[in-house]
Chains A and B, each alone.
Chain A
Amino acid sequence: MARYKNIKYPAFLLFSVCMSLGAFGATATLTSLEEEKGDRQPKRACVRVQRKQELLLEHLPRQIEFLKTLQEKFKVTMDSQREVNQLAAFKAACSIANLQSFSASIQDVITCLRDENPDFVSIGVGASPALKQDIDQFVSYLDEAGMPSDYFKSLAEEFQKIIGDIPNPEFPADSFL
């Protein structure tokens, strides 16, 4: 009993310091992670990821190539309008910039797919369905601008076939609370 009394207040002090530093929250997160590590990456999922990785690495550069040809077209407009109509030239430059950032976004996924770390490869594969939303949006911009979109639409259909079976679960509403 005497020993209990000796450690009671230091224990209280230690506990309150830990509370103020948020140490217990961090421990909880790590524990959850450790629990999951045991059954991570089952064999079948690994094979599926490898197959998707190959397909995406073959397909996504073709999308970037198409975006580059469009950039070239806008570059011709920009150069021809530079002295005549600077605003038109600037708008063409904006179009190139928007295409570049779309390309860069696809390129980031490719970089992830080429990573040596299998976690990043799985993140690259897992991110692919999210690109589809942008691709559909981009097709609508092509149509609005009256630009030829048939080739890109066929690429979009091909892409859909690759990513169609990649899970796309939505976070439950209570996640955001």
Chain B
Amino acid sequence: MKNFVCLWFFGTAFFNSLYAAGAPCFSYEVYEHVNAPGGLPMLTNSASDNYADTQKRLNHQAILAGVVPVQVRIGRFTSMPPAPWIVHVPFVGLPPPMTLPNINRMIIRRRAHGVAISPALLANLAASNAAGAITPALTDSLRAGGYFNNMSFILNRLTLGVFPFGTIFGVPLAFIPDSVLLHIALPQRVSKNLNELAHSSLSSPIPGAPIMPGGVTVKDMINAPYALLGGIPLPDSATVVSSNRLQ
């Protein structure tokens, strides 16, 4: 009995840390930009129609070879001859310094996207705002919520970024694309923010609304110009996340 208890104690104490580290091998996950229930038909946004598994793997290899974590690729595949990918790298260099106002804005965005925010975090943030200083409790809450994760920074810059006129996520257009692919490649574990990414891969929860007044998601940003112009189908779109430590 004594030996069994000791073994179990050590086993369970270290199980979590081993599990969290994950296997050190390349893997990937894909979130298709699907519509909310009651919205436009899912088929119009089914990325799997256009991007074969081999194509996704090919794209991943290209990204992992580089040092830039985010690429936006636009292409045209439903016409003959298909237009090639135009690759744009929106986030070159380090993200802007993370400040208390930026965190406040991230919270506002997450809330608008329907992500549940811990009441403890909200209270800690309000306390920090009142004090005008970052408290250790706030830092702990943010760390626990994955707010300091690179994926979180990337989503923040994608959905809150101001992009130049006449572009999709800053990509200059030589043709009207029918496919938009976002690649996010990170060397570290990214599971923390995949839930948030899933929220941002959905379109407006208001059925039939081309873009909602608040809480504009990545999906909304891709679809909006097509819905505004009308007469052309919404593009196939997906966000591809690659990491060597997905859980």
Contacts and interface: CB of A to CB of B under 8 A. Distances in A.
A98 B99 contact: no
B68 to A, nearest CB: 19
Contact of A29 (B122, B141, B214): B141
Interface in A149-177: 166-172, 175-176
Contacts of B175: 87
A26 B62 CA distance: 40
Contacts of A101: 159, 211, 216, 220-221, 224
A107 B211 CA distance: 13
B82 interface: no
A35 interface: yes
A32 B133 CA distance: 15
Given A119-B123, A170-B98, A175 B139 contact: yes
B130 A98 contact: no
A160 B200 CA distance: 31
20 contacts: A20-B15, A20-B16, A30-B120, A33-B120, A36-B137, A45-B132, A90-B173, A94-B165, A97-B224, A98-B162, A98-B165, A100-B211, A101-B221, A105-B216, A107-B213, A124-B108, A125-B129, A141-B162, A141-B165, A170-B98
A135 to B, nearest CB: 8
Interface of A: 9, 12-13, 15-17, 19-20, 22, 25, 28-30, 32-33, 35-37, 40-42, 45-46, 49, 74, 78, 82, 86-87, 89-98, 100-102, 104-105, 107-109, 111-112, 118-120, 122-131, 133-134, 137-138, 141, 144-145, 166-172, 175-176
The majority secondary structure among interface residues of chain B is helix
Given A78-B229, A92-B166, A104-B214, A12 B140 contact: no
Contacts, number: 224
Contacts of B129: 49, 122-123, 125-126, 167
B3 to A, nearest CB: 11
A95 B165 contact: yes
Interface in B46-79: none
A169 B212 contact: no
B105 A127 contact: yes
Interface string B128-168: 11111111110111111000100000000001111111111
Contact of B143 (A35, A92, A93, A175): A175
A22 B13 CA distance: 10
Contacts of A37: 123, 127
A88 B165 CA distance: 12
Contacts of A109: 105, 108
Interface string B224-245: 1110110010000000000000
A170 B124 CA distance: 16
A94 B167 contact: yes
Contacts of A145: 164-165
A97 B211 contact: yes
A41 B143 CA distance: 23
List 7 tightest A-B contacts by C-beta distance, closest first.
A167-B132, A97-B224, A127-B104, A32-B137, A91-B166, A93-B225, A130-B101
Contact of A167 (B124, B133, B166, B232): B133
A96 B225 contact: yes
B105 A130 contact: yes
Contacts of A20: 12-13, 15-16
